[in-house]
Amino acid sequence: MAPRDADIAKPIRLILSDVDGVLTDGSIVIDNAGVESKSFYVRDGYAIKLWLKAGFEFGLLTARNSQVVKLRAAELGIQMVRQGYSEKGSAAKEMIAQAKVEPREVCYIGDDLPDLAVMYDVGLSVTVADGALEVKQAAKWITQAPGGRGAVRELIERLLKAKSLWEDFVPNRLA
């Protein structure tokens, strides 16, 4: 029998996320002045804030270096950010130790081959709907949403619902 969401979600205390292709659609826009921009989906950001508000931790782990990522992380209150790690396994181990959690208490969401090193070593591996085939084969969960279009929101909502915490964040209608 397949494990239920509640059984899978229960130990998760830390979400680590790739950036390009997960929190963005993977597009990297560089203008004539060399200024980079990325497009982030607002509901992903809101869900990250809810995850943090629920008392859990969230970290960003990306192979590229970008001022935009630093700014977005600060805006959302994300304390753990590692940029410039093409070999993500060692950085993930550092982040897991920093959060004082065990690998089984970690969820990692990624979309491409560099993410596999982390996905194999955590409790819950997740990819986006448009993730690479090999990443989909390694993932326990695959979101319905593509990267940059609500995949992280979908993941966090699913985890919080499985932990019976989602309703804490849904306002009640006024009588």
The torsion defined by the Cα of 61, 131, 140 and 94, in degrees rounded to 10, comes to -10
Question: Other CB atoms closer than 10 Å to residue 156's CB: what's the count?
Answer: 27
With a cut of 90, say whether residue 4 has pLDDT above it. Answer: no
Mean pLDDT of 138-151: 97
pLDDT tens column, 108-134: 999 999 999 999 999 999 999 999 999
With a cut of 70, say whether residue 174 has pLDDT above it. Answer: no
Angstrom distance (rounded) from CA 5 to CA 2: 9
Angstrom distance (rounded) from CA 124 to CA 109: 9
pLDDT more than 70, % of the chain? 97
pTM for this prediction:
0.94
DSSP 140: S
- Domains within the chain, CATH numbers bracketed: 5-168 (3.40.50.1000)
Reported confidence tier of residue 2, pLDDT bands at 50, 70, 90: low
pLDDT at residue 172, rounded to an integer = 75
Angstrom distance (rounded) from CA 6 to CA 132: 27
pLDDT at residue 36, rounded to an integer = 87
pLDDT tens column, 7-37: 999 999 999 999 999 999 999 899 999 888 9
pLDDT at residue 1, rounded to an integer = 45
pLDDT at residue 6, rounded to an integer = 85
Angstrom distance (rounded) from CA 10 to CA 16: 16
